[in-house]
Structure 1
Amino acid sequence: MKASSFIFLVLNLHILCSLSLLVPTKSASNETDLSALLSFKALVSGDPLDILSSWNGSVHHCQWPGVRCGRHHPDRVTSLVLNSGHLSGQISPALSNLTFLLELSLSDNQFTGIMPEELGKLTRLRSIDLSGNPLGGYIPSTLGNCTKLLHINLRKNNLQGTIPSSLGLCKNLVSLVLTSNNLVGNIPPILGNLTSLLLFRLDVNNLTGSIPSSLGQLRVLRTICVNDNLLSGEIPRSLYNISSMEIFQLAYNNLQGSLPSDIGASFPNLAALVLFANQLHGQIPDSISNCSYLYSIAAASNKFTGLIPSSLGSLQNLAVIAVSDNLLEAKTTRDWGFIDQLGNCTELQVLDLGYNQFQGTIPISIGNLSTSLYFLSLGNNGISGSIPAVIGNLVGLTRIQLDSMLLSGPIPQEIGKLWILELIDLSNNTISGEIPPIFTNLTRMSRLFLQNNELQGNIPEQMSHMQSLESMNLSDNKLVGNIPNEIMFQSLSIALDLSNNYLSGALPLEISKLKNIQTVILSNNNLSGEIPSTIDGCEVLQALYLDRNMFDGSLPSSFGNMRSLQVLDLSHNSFSGELPDSIDYMKLQHLNISYNNFEGELPKGGVFQNITAVDVRGNPDLCGGIPQMKLQRCVTRIQEHKRNYQRIIIIVFSTIGAFACLCMAICFFACRYCRRTHKNAKSSYGMQFEHKRVSYNDIFKATDGFSLDNLVGRGAFGTVYKATMNLETPAIVAVKVLDLQNQAGSKTFLTECKALRNIRHRNLVKVLSSCSSIDHNGTDFKALIFEFMPNGSLETWLHPTACTARPFEALSLTQRMDIAIDVATALDYLHHHGTVPIVHCDLKPSNVLLDSEMIAHVGDFGLAKFLVQRDIMISHSAISTGIRGTIGYIPPEYGMGAQASVQGDVYSYGILLLEIFTGMSPTDEQFVDGMSLPKLVESSFPESIMEIVDHKLFLTNGGKQTGDYTHELDGIHQCLLTVIHHGLMCCKEVPSDRIDIQDFVKELNSAKEKLLG
């Protein structure tokens, strides 16, 4: 009895001991996870959203933001997700102690340093996402230990080195994304062992070698994308055995070979075939029509030959056919049969057949294409005949390129039906007849190119409705009559070219409306009369060609006001008289006044000092100038007349001067008396606006008592609110309330008032009014009222994670070009076209605001400086500033005590420009140990230019491609080369080495013009 009782007791003790091991207490494992999370937090150096502020002992760590624990092990962390939190610092190796971790996601933050090799200890890990961080170093080979991994996403970091072969051990991988890094070397053949892989992206790296044939083992693969690398060789035949393929992208490499004839059978599920910018040859296989889900064929810039298969018309989802810059052919009506069949593709949006070897005429069936078609290009082929009227059926077109061919006949009236058309290029053909009055409906047109044709008759006045036109070229035709006043569009900002026609009459006085135009070419016409004095209204004009006309009279003195003018050609006219004195002070780089009747002494300053930049031949009465001109000496009789005239002037002005002194003395004492009398009535800040003044109560009501709902943003010296006020239309305005508790706040108010008082420009933020009063507490109150910018600052567009109020939308390449030009034009105005030069001193994305039409406006003049001595070299007339501006954008000389200068602004603009086109902020934490944004860009320029630009510039909402990719690929590359090159010129260490902003505006516009064709 006793023995059985003893045995029973022992069994019960054993059971109790076993159960005690299963009771959920504060175990050692629990402490390990808690310690690991706290170690992670300790290495987070930046947490602007206070996400980790609650990571403390007040709540259990499984309830911390971003942390999830398991069901079966409620104290063990299974998920750590902290995406888009603006977190910075380094990733702690202690995360490897979260041994139950299944998901690690820290995407779209600012973590730097390296990926800890210790992450390879997380053998239970199913998913790791560290994308969108500036992580450096190598991809840890230890990730191969995480054999249960399903997803790896390391997109858009700064990872270097090769792709570790150990990743081939992760045989359960479903997605592998290594896009937008700096990876080199070959694609490891062992990756062909990842037989569960659905998504495979290695695009935008520096990978070399050939595509391994072992990837053909990935039989369930749906997407492969290795665009923008340095791969060569042929596409392995084994890849065409992956019948599940949906997205097949190998663009921007150096791949060779041809496509297999049975590609359609190989890829029955294919949706996108993107192969442009390679060296592929052979024919486009007819079997591609078996890919019934196909929506995009992008094979431009290769060496494809033969005909385009008519069977493409069976692809009901087809939206894009971009096969320009190949050797494709079509000669007979039968060859053009594919156009007939494409009428069945009701979703077609892009048809780009330019730069091939097409011949014959444009088929009438082109009018049966989808009304969704917005881009049509047939240019640079051997196509002849007339433009079919049925093109007017394509009411969705925004861009037509039929240039550089053999087209003849008139411009069809039916083009007037294309009311949303933005660009039409019919240049370099033999089109005849008159310019039809079809432009009444084309109110969205921004580019019109009809040059080098056989057009006759007058320029129609109906073109006055094209109020969005930025560039128009009607040169090299047979146009007659006067230049209509109606075509002097204020919107023209790039070029107006009417050269090589038979135009007559005077230059319209309305030329002054071309305030923003950069180039005017009227050469080789029959224009006559004098140049109107209103021409100085062309404030930013850089090049003016009036040569080979019948102009006469003397040059207006207003020429001297055209401070942006760099090229002036007046040759082969009948101009007379002396050159105006002001021409000596202009910033001309080329001047041709040859074969006129100019007389008198040639100036010796400015452009006249460079004998290679000036042509004065054919003016027998010109004399003097620098000796190298070898002109005759100015005769004594003329000099004597001048002396006599000067004596008379001296006597007259001496008399006037004495009288003026007497008047000034009287005025002095009168003003002194008035100043004493009205001293208390005078404003303390000296700003005189012509607009309606507002009170504190007006602003208080307009902002709903400075409600947080109306808060737009906070700055170093004030707060900006959105308000509704009856000042100008629209009634929505922005109110900047200065922080007068900050000593610099009042000074900022005075500076902004002074800067904004006398400047007006379309690319500067418009000030509407001001307020200097006291608030309800009797405290000083100062505010400025500006035009409201509904699209916010450039900062929120370049770095969208900084703005949660607006969904992601990438800026396209052309939008970034427009913004860069707008900002450069504003700086040019501030530096060269005001009463005194103004240095902004704080140019950065947050101070560039975008209106409803995405036009950029430079704002925040709180740190601006005025350079008083207008005619002295800017760098010597600057005012001492100390260090002004924002870290990352401040020129290096400011940090050494140098003075504010226009060259300093140019440096800041260069940084801004590089940020616009690379998407990288100069204050990113990757820029340490002497590395900077300019140095990073320079190290990749020019060979790796496409690797450093922001690839979001080819995206719109949802990540879809914009129309920008339909530009010629070489044009995109050349445009980016030009922009980045000149951006680096702005960022030179030595101020004198930096490019002048006026020169930069010209280069930017030229690059944009070439990009748009």
Structure 2
Amino acid sequence: MKYFSLMLLAFWSIYVHLFVLLTLNSPWIIPKLVASASENETDHMALLEFRKSILSDPHGIFLSWNTCTHFCNWHGITCNPKHQRVLELNLQGYKLKGSISPYIGNLSYMRSINLGDNNFYGEIPQELGRLSQLHNLSVGNNSLVGEIATNLTGCTNLKFLHLGGNNFIDKIPIEIGSLRKLQHLILSNNEFTGEIPLFMGNLSSLTLLAVAGNNLEGSIPHEICSLKSLTWIAFHLNKLRGTFPTCLYNISSLNIISATNNQLNGSLPTNMFHTLPNLHKFLISNNQIIGSIPPSITNASFLSILDADNNYFTGQVPSLSKLQDLRYLSFSGNNLGDNSTDDLEFLKSLTNCSQLQMIDIGFNSFGGHLPNSLGNLSMQLNELYLGGNHIVGEIPSAIGNLIGLVLLSMTGNSIDGTIPTTFGKLQNMQKLRLGRNKLSGGIGAFIGNLSQLFHLDEGKNMLQGKIPPSIGNYQSIPVEVGNLKNLGSLDMSENNLSYHIPPSIGECIVLEYLNLKGNSLNGIIPPSLASLKGLRSLDLSQNSLGGSIPNDLQKISVLQYFNVSLNMLVGEVPKGGVFQNASVLVVTGNKNLCGGISELHLPPCPVDGKKLAKLHPFMLIATIVSAVAFLLIISSSGNFSFVYKGILRPEEKVVAIKVLNLQKRGSQKSFIAECNALKNIKHRNVVPILTCCSGIDYKGQEFKALIFEYMKNGSLEQWLHQIALSAEHSRTLNLDQRLNIMIDVASALHYLHYECEQLIVHCDLKPSNVLLDDDMIAHVSDFGLVRLFSTINCTSSQHTSTIVIKGTIGYVPPEYGMGSEVSTAGDMYSFGILLLEMLTGRRPIDEIFEDGQNLHTFVENSFPDNLLQILDPSIVLNQEEQNSQNLTPTVEK
């Protein structure tokens, strides 16, 4: 959680920075350094050559690299104050694209180069070998290729070498063995082949060695044991074989050993945790290690992460009561336990581990009952995996004490009894898996109180009774826990459930997977299911359902599987959507169904002569160079237009066509304003216009339209608020994507306010007017309400506009409503609201805002101590999932 607090503070800093950037007429104000007569022109010229090799600078970093400012004051440059020579070049994380100029080798005083987390391509220039004073070279997470420059041997003072996350090939060059001062060597996530070189043992100062994520083979060399100062060693995600060298366990300084996802075998020494007293993280999952868990683990008091998934461990798990720093424990996918009553005794020892966040002992041979002491585990425990064992008996009601639980999995055991009502206290629960057991009784109305639950699996038990109507309560999360909405997966298959399917399930608006097969449900298929626009799989087979198949189900564009076989349905089978594909459609065993596509071989339905054909006229634009075939309405744009998706022939170019509704007052002026604004605009973050059209349509009526490049990924509004796009789109934006969009919109505003021939005020900036292309680059759109200003002799005057500035409630500044003049400050107000909406996931007119509260005060009242309470939960979930994948193994079962 500390990580996310820091992240949010960084976001707030970025927000303030962007505001200042866009409101100053001179966007970058940097103190000018008075250069001495002895300034070194060599460094100056080398930096200019480096800049020339940069093709893309999305953050505008090089705006400061100009002749008005001494190079020692350029962004990312640190100089020696006495000699004014470059000591450090730090441009990490700015998404720069280009090659690394060989002229960088002329910066002879250079001590640190950090170009990590960018888009540099090509090879590392050999000229870097001239930098004999270089201590740090970091070019990780780029797109560099080829072999490592062998001339790096000239960098004899190098201490930190980070080349990870690129596309380097071939074997690790022997020349690295001459860099005797190296302390950190990171070669992870490349395409290196061969074996781990023996010369690694010569790097006696090494404290961190990371060669993970390559194609390395062979065994771990014994020479590694010569590195007596090692604290961190990472071998994971390779093809290494053999055993750990026994001498490795004698490097007492080791804090982290990560060797997951290899083919290592053998057993672990019984005393290994005695000889590794400082070990914090031990990760060896997905190997072929055999034997028992070393009994010395009972004294591994510093251990915080133990990941031994998917090996061949056997026997009992020793007591872990002294591991008070333990946070992650995973033994899943082994052969631990022997299906005896004492197998789970070690769980009692975990009550002393107050830092525990995750326990995974799934898919072993553990037997016996779950101890009541489970309720005494850490309140920080949020994931507990017990599935795939031989556990018997009832679920202890004390588990309800674990109020921090987000995920609980007990699938595939022999657990009986009822579901404890104490589960109603697990208000943070998001995934609950109880399927494939012997549970009986009812589902329990308390399930409806778990407001964050989005995955529920109770299938293949012996449950009976009604589905509780309260299940429809999965609609929104209380303000204090964020905005994670609704159930995503519901599996209650193969139980003894009866009565109707409650229509309230249709209120679980983000439900993707619904499986109720193999029960005794009756009544009709609720038409409300058609409200589930994200539904991908629907299985209602083997029940007693009657009535017809709701016709509107064919409108669910992402539905990929539909099974209603073995029911008592009647009437016509629809022919659209999922009903067009017989391979994903199962309707057999309903003798009174008719119609549908021919592949279903159903009898034709009786003809109803009263049905009237509905005509859908298509609008044709004759004035465009080629014909346009309209496919569908994309969205309504303000009050003045509709936007259609079309194809421009013969190029077969997909375009967006904004057709003005000329019946609306002000639409003519909106058309003129947008044409005037867009005719001279050319910027990567402003929606590109292809042409405009003004004429008479086929009905003899006036017709006006604008043709734009089609933005495949829709609007920011759709992504922030989970409005369905199509099956190929993910549903949420991660942290990086949101930041990039913010920067894109800021760049567009800066261009409109300061770089156009005429100052342009947009007047209607909001998420629905920010469109995203194939690469998720943001483009500001809809210039129907713009104001154009001439800027002559430093004066501004209004040039053209619509008559009334309407804007959009919540985004338009309050001053406009009181008669204030339109200005760039108004756009900045809208931009600030848009940023807050992107961070919180809440619209400025959200229904939670009452008694004078608004989005701004909502954030202000939570700053800085309670930011996590207002952050869009999907950001946290995405980041936690990413961190979990990077730091710990995947534990989803």
> TM-score normalised to the size of structure 2?
0.66
Residue matched to 1:347: 355
- The structural deviation recorded for 1:282 is 1.3
1:314 aligns with 2:322: yes
1:570 aligns with 2:625: no
- The structural deviation recorded for 1:321 is 0.5
- The structural deviation recorded for 1:210 is 1.3
Amino acid at match of 1:843: D
Structure 1 segment 229-240 matched on structure 2, within 5 A? 229-240=238-249
* Alignment counterpart, residue 440 of structure 1, candidates 448, 464, 472: 448
* Alignment counterpart, residue 956 of structure 1, candidates 866, 879, 886: 879
Residue matched to 2:843: none
3-state DSSP class of the match of 2:429? coil
CA gap of 1:690–1:296, structure 2 versus 1, over 3 A, is farther
* Alignment counterpart, residue 387 of structure 2, candidates 368, 379, 382: 379
Residue matched to 2:219: 210
Amino acid at match of 1:40: F
- The structural deviation recorded for 1:273 is 0.9
Equivalent pair of 1:793/1:847 in contact (CA under 8 Å): no
Residue matched to 2:457: 449
Distance 1:415 1:321 in 2: 23
Distance 1:956 1:81 in 2: 25
3-state DSSP class of the match of 2:348? helix
Structure 1 segment 146-545 matched on structure 2, within 5 A? 146-310=155-319, 312-329=320-337, 331-467=339-475, 468-491=486-509, 493-532=511-550, 535-536=553-554, 538=556, 540-545=558-563
Residue matched to 1:939: none
Amino acid at match of 1:508: P
Distance 1:304 1:270 in 2: 20
CA gap of 1:439–1:352, structure 2 versus 1, over 3 A, is same
Equivalent pair of 1:434/1:458 in contact (CA under 8 Å): yes
- What stretches of structure 2 of length at least 5 have no aligned partner? 1-34, 476-485, 613-639, 643-657, 696-702, 724-729, 746-770, 785-874
CA gap of 1:500–1:280, structure 2 versus 1, over 3 A, is same
Provide the aligned C-alpha RMSD in A: 4.6
Distance 1:848 1:70 in 2: 42
CA gap of 1:148–1:796, structure 2 versus 1, over 3 A, is same
CA gap of 1:327–1:953, structure 2 versus 1, over 3 A, is farther
Amino acid at match of 1:441: N
- The structural deviation recorded for 1:565 is 5.8
- The structural deviation recorded for 1:34 is 4.4
Amino acid at match of 1:185: G
Distance 2:215 2:704 in 1: 51
CA gap of 1:804–1:47, structure 2 versus 1, over 3 A, is closer
- The structural deviation recorded for 1:26 is 6.7
Equivalent pair of 1:459/1:479 in contact (CA under 8 Å): yes
Amino acid at match of 2:431: L
3-state DSSP class of the match of 1:293? coil
Distance 1:490 1:122 in 2: 61
Residue matched to 1:134: 143
CA gap of 1:572–1:158, structure 2 versus 1, over 3 A, is closer
- The structural deviation recorded for 1:696 is 9.3
Residue matched to 1:844: 775
1:750 aligns with 2:768: no
* Larger RCO (alpha carbons 8 Å, 6+ apart): 2
Equivalent pair of 2:80/2:87 in contact (CA under 8 Å): yes
Moved more, 334-343 or 560-569: 560-569
CA gap of 1:860–1:575, structure 2 versus 1, over 3 A, is farther
Equivalent pair of 2:391/2:415 in contact (CA under 8 Å): yes
Equivalent pair of 2:561/2:578 in contact (CA under 8 Å): no
- The structural deviation recorded for 1:60 is 5.3
CA gap of 1:114–1:368, structure 2 versus 1, over 3 A, is same
- The structural deviation recorded for 1:367 is 1.3
- The structural deviation recorded for 1:48 is 5.0
Equivalent pair of 2:474/2:508 in contact (CA under 8 Å): no
Equivalent pair of 1:419/1:441 in contact (CA under 8 Å): yes
User: Which of these two proteins has the greater Rg computed from alpha carbons?
Assistant: 1
3-state DSSP class of the match of 1:314? coil
Amino acid at match of 2:440: S
* Alignment counterpart, residue 107 of structure 1, candidates 84, 99, 116: 116
Amino acid at match of 1:81: N
The alignment-based identity, stated in percent, is 33
- The structural deviation recorded for 1:395 is 0.9
CA gap of 1:600–1:59, structure 2 versus 1, over 3 A, is closer
Distance 1:754 1:113 in 2: 32
Residue matched to 1:83: 92
Distance 1:244 1:841 in 2: 50
Equivalent pair of 1:794/1:845 in contact (CA under 8 Å): no
- The structural deviation recorded for 1:106 is 2.5
Distance 1:252 1:291 in 2: 24
Equivalent pair of 1:330/1:360 in contact (CA under 8 Å): no
Amino acid at match of 1:265: H
Distance 2:722 2:707 in 1: 10
Structure 1 segment 680-759 matched on structure 2, within 5 A? 687-688=660-661, 750=705
- The structural deviation recorded for 1:515 is 3.9
* Alignment counterpart, residue 40 of structure 1, candidates 39, 46, 50: 50
Distance 2:232 2:708 in 1: 57
CA gap of 1:461–1:191, structure 2 versus 1, over 3 A, is same
Distance 1:517 1:138 in 2: 48
Number of positions where the alignment pairs a residue of Structure 1 with one of Structure 2: 670
> TM-score normalised to the size of structure 1?
0.59
3-state DSSP class of the match of 1:351? strand
- What stretches of structure 1 of length at least 5 have no aligned partner? 1-23, 585-589, 602-641, 654-681, 701-705, 707-713, 721-737, 769-790, 807-839, 850-858, 863-951, 969-1011
- The structural deviation recorded for 1:799 is 9.4
Structure 1 segment 613-652 matched on structure 2, within 5 A? none
Equivalent pair of 1:39/1:92 in contact (CA under 8 Å): yes
Equivalent pair of 1:513/1:537 in contact (CA under 8 Å): no
For residues 370-410 of structure 1, give each alpha carbon's deviation from its aligned partner in whole angstroms, at most 9, with x where no partner exists.
12111111111111111111111111111111111111111
Amino acid at match of 1:313: S
Distance 2:251 2:460 in 1: 51
- The structural deviation recorded for 1:117 is 1.9
- The structural deviation recorded for 1:745 is 11
For residues 897-921 of structure 1, give each alpha carbon's deviation from its aligned partner in whole angstroms, at most 9, with x where no partner exists.
xxxxxxxxxxxxxxxxxxxxxxxxx
3-state DSSP class of the match of 2:777? helix
CA gap of 1:193–1:498, structure 2 versus 1, over 3 A, is same
Residue matched to 1:94: 103
- The structural deviation recorded for 1:221 is 1.0
CA gap of 1:511–1:107, structure 2 versus 1, over 3 A, is closer
Equivalent pair of 2:416/2:438 in contact (CA under 8 Å): yes
Equivalent pair of 2:685/2:777 in contact (CA under 8 Å): no
Equivalent pair of 2:339/2:390 in contact (CA under 8 Å): no
For residues 437-473 of structure 1, give each alpha carbon's deviation from its aligned partner in whole angstroms, at most 9, with x where no partner exists.
2113112111111111111222222222233112212
- The structural deviation recorded for 1:138 is 1.1
- The structural deviation recorded for 1:535 is 5.0
